[in-house]
Structure 1
Amino acid sequence: MSEPTMAWRDLVEYSETHDLLAKRLFVVFSNPTNGLGPVLENLDPHVEHQTRLELDGTMFAAGPFASDDEQQWNGEGMFIYRAESLAAARKIAESDPMHTSGARSFTIRSWMLNEGTFSVQLFYSGGKPRIV
């Protein structure tokens, strides 16, 4: 007896017809190719690149991964892009200075955001609120 399978397009249709968000996004897993040194050398241009993607609406989320014991950062990160297609998302990832320099390599996966919540709290007065 073989394990059942499901075509991606069928899961997309299921999500769309069952009141799920069905927001198509692309997740990039970025990993050092030769230790942390080259990653640190490219950190500033990488952050500038990520900020541009954030400002133009491409970047949904991004950030680093801690080591398994949460004691180190080994140079790994993950980014989630809004893009028209996997090919378009790949072009975006290829333009990242971490990847163009060879400091990191990446893999990319299609992802569908279906469930969860998002809240915004806006403070009109200056500065960050103090947590008491």
Structure 2
Amino acid sequence: MSNNIDILELQMVSWTNYKSEAKARGALALELYAAVSTPAGEPEDVKANLPAHLAYQAELERSGNLAFAGPMSDESGDNMQGIGLIIYRAESFEEAISLAEGDPMHASGARSFVLRRWLINEGSLTLSVGLSTGHAVMG
């Protein structure tokens, strides 16, 4: 068991150092913040806070602080489990915490969250925007 612990300890590096190394090797190194939001109260509490939560999400989207948000399935991929993923754009981890705490779902205690930094290094995004229609498709 000590070998597993030793390996894990060796893999732990400071976030700042890792981000700098990623940039140096040519990775995007875009830092965002991922909140996994889970029900903490009764289902009625979640339903009661849904309109305010959606309004808050729309406000964050308009201000540029919300990158993505939405529900996640269970491990089978077949059922809704009530877990949500919210990706914030923020200047700091502390600002991202403040954004998550300001969500009416979290502020009311209907849901709780765990926040992590997320460094986007690789991948691709395709976006098609109809300039006259305002229609956008992301793939």
User: Is the pair's TM-score, using the shorter chain for normalization, greater than 0.5?
Assistant: yes
Pick aligned residue for 2:28 from 9, 13, 21: 21
User: Does structure 2 conserve the Cα–Cα contact (< 8 Å) formed by 1:61 and 1:79?
Assistant: yes
Q: Which has the higher strand share?
A: 2
Q: How many aligned residue pairs are there? A: 129
TM-score, reference length from structure 1? 0.86
Question: Which residue matches 1:53?
Answer: 60
Deviations 1:23-45 (A, max 9, x none): 11111111001242211111111
CA drift of 1:83 comes to 0.8
Percent identical pairs in the alignment equals 35
Residue 65 of structure 2 corresponds to residue 62 of structure 1: no
Deviates more, 1:60-69 or 1:16-25: 60-69
What is the aligned partner in structure 2 of residue 120 from structure 1?
Answer: 127
Greater Cα offset, 8-17 or 19-28: 8-17
Task: Identify the match of residue 36 of structure 1 among 15, 36, 43.
Answer: 43
Alpha-carbon distance change, 81 to 122 in structure 1, aligned in 2, over 3 angstroms: same
**Corresponding position: 1:111 with 2:118:** yes
Show structure 1 runs of 4+ deviating over 4 A. 124-129
Residue 66 of structure 1, CA deviation: 1.8
RMSD of aligned Cα (Å): 2.0
Shift of 1:127: 8.4
Consecutive unaligned residues in structure 1, runs of 5 or more: none
Comparing 4-13 and 114-123, the one that deviates more: 4-13
TM-score by length of 2: 0.82
Residues 55-114 of structure 1 deviation map (CA, whole Å, 9 limit, x = unaligned): 100001111112334444332211111111111111110100001111001110111111
Q: Can you give the 5+ residue segments of structure 2 that lack an aligned partner in the other structure?
A: none
Q: Which residue of 2 aligns with 1:74?
A: 81
Which stretch shows the higher mean deviation, 105-114 or 2-11? 2-11
